[in-house]
Chains A and B, each alone.
Chain A
Amino acid sequence: MDPENLRYTKEHEWVRVEGDIGIIGITFHAQKELGDIVYVDLPKVGTSTQQGKTVGSVESVKAVSDLYTPVSGEVVEINPLLAESPEILNTDPYGSGWLVKIKLSDPGEAGKLLTAAEYQAYTGTESP
């Protein structure tokens, strides 16, 4: 269910590297745990950030979850659909529900993140 071509974090984000751009989002597991997502707070284009830093938040009816970037670099684009339709994070977390695109300052970072198999093993054994 978690695509093989993405890399994952223990904080339940994913990144897909296309050239020098990293596209990041939250996992199927993350959206399921949060429930109906009603609000997404994203960084401004031009923001520089470091791997593991908070870059925004995702809110469901019940809860707020911080969003940590899996890769370092500069935010070059944010998903324009999310302001009006945050629910696409529930319906299509690996597709139209992507969050931000980051111009990678360290292209080697993503390769050190979890593979799909490693992430599935992690979420399968994570204590609730």
Chain B
Amino acid sequence: MAQPREPLKTTPLNAIHRRLGAKMIDFGGWDMPVQYASLLEEHHAVRQRVGLFDVSHMGEIEIRGFQALDLVNYVTTNDAANLQSGQAQYSGLLYEHGGFVDDILVHKIAADHYFLCVNASNQDKDYAHIAAHNRFEATVENAGVRYAQLAIQGPRALDTLQKLAAIALAPMHYYHFVDSTVSGAPARIARTGYTGEDGFEIYISSADAVRLWDEILAAGAEFGIKPCGLGARNTLRLEAAMALYDHEIHASITPWEANLGWIVKMNKGDFIGRDALDRQKQRGITRSLVGFEMSGRGIGRDGYEVCMEGRGTGWVASGGPSPTLGKNIGLCYLPCADAAPGRKIQVMVRGVAVDALTVSTPFYKRTK
């Protein structure tokens, strides 16, 4: 029996996307633009110039109180005690068994206030998970509806946003943020992104989203800015080998397996999932994420089986064409012994074994 479907959620920019002729898709329950005119042109705009993304579907969770840090550090894998105010870090939310609830960005606003950016389709789950483990003097707010989020990404992102921002952006370091204004509207301006390029993500009031979207497009016109959809966002992040929830990471994958050991600080004190990670490390990790490039004709895509010497050994977490490299690339899970660059593998492309080679990642790294 078909379940009655809930109506799709929309961002404040939904009417704008439709007016721009975007192809809209259901992305985790959100009605989002996958592309406007051409995914490839949008991808290249971000690599060569600048692109603007509506990422208002992303969730925000605010943690406040004098034990805010204790709660953040208990539910995340990275060490938020290392953050200065105005600094952000990539981190993980884990279950007790060590699998991912989500991957998130933790922003330290003040000693008693942390701001989490979480994945759109996970925000209610994340909120419930954090609230359920809140045995501290801290409050947890599921704040997604208050915020819109825009990503301005690419080598001319700074030039574009600087025309509207009240503060000097050039001195801002990667993974730092400032509460300031953009075209007079309050904005949390973070030098973060999901594309492998320089750029900014701004958190603004939903009420300001339409005006700022138009003003950023106008400010970037001289640099060749393009509105970009989730399709380009995915090809850009894959080239940068950044994880996507439900692909590289999910409830049955641990940070060790996903090559995300660098966001796990085992010595920071207890946190949810720590014991399971400790046990897995003692026992030994059996599978690991590794990049691949197709050498035969064919595109290895999400979920395809990976074989070595005719035997199934793993699966493609994410795969597709790389517009920047002009190759077909992907990330796959293989037994640890084989998850090293230079191994010959085959990807089963609709019943046909197509040759591929494991490679080191990221596939693309910008020149600074």
Contacts and interface: CB of A to CB of B under 8 A. Distances in A.
B247 to A, nearest CB: 14
A57 B231 contact: no
Interface residues of B, number: 19
Given A61-B231, A62-B231, A64-B301, A39 B38 contact: no
A36 B229 CA distance: 13
A38 B40 CA distance: 10
A38 B350 contact: no
Contacts of A36: 38-40
A61 B350 contact: no
Q: Give the dominant DSSP class at B's interface.
A: mixed
- Contact-residue size bin, chain A (C-beta under 8 Å from the other chain): 10 to 19
Given A35-B23, A38-B321, A57-B350, A62 B39 contact: yes
B298 A61 contact: no
Interface in B205-238: 231, 234-235
Interface in B313-346: 320-321, 323, 328
B117 interface: no
Max chain A C-beta neighbours (<10 A), residue from B34, B39, B297, B323: B39
Q: Give the dominant DSSP class at A's interface.
A: strand
Nearest to B38: A36
B299 interface: yes
A118 interface: no
A33 B320 CA distance: 18
Given A35-B23, A35-B35, A61 B301 contact: no
B321 A61 contact: yes
A57 B301 CA distance: 14
Nearest to A128: B24
B23 A61 contact: no
Interface string B151-181: 0000000000000000000000000000000
Max chain B C-beta neighbours (<10 A), residue from A35, A57, A62, A64: A62
A31 to B, nearest CB: 12
Interface string A41-69: 10000000000000001011110100000
A97 to B, nearest CB: 16
Nearest to A54: B350
Contacts of A41: 297-298
A88 to B, nearest CB: 14
15 contacts: A33-B23, A35-B38, A36-B38, A36-B40, A38-B299, A39-B297, A39-B299, A41-B297, A59-B321, A60-B39, A61-B43, A61-B323, A62-B34, A62-B231, A64-B350
Given A57-B350, A59-B321, A62-B234, 17 more contacts: A35-B23, A35-B231, A39-B298, A39-B321, A59-B299, A60-B39, A61-B39, A61-B43, A61-B321, A61-B323, A62-B34, A62-B35, A62-B231, A62-B320, A64-B299, A64-B301, A64-B350
Give the 4 A-B CB pairs with smallest separation, nearest first. A36-B40, A38-B321, A61-B39, A61-B321
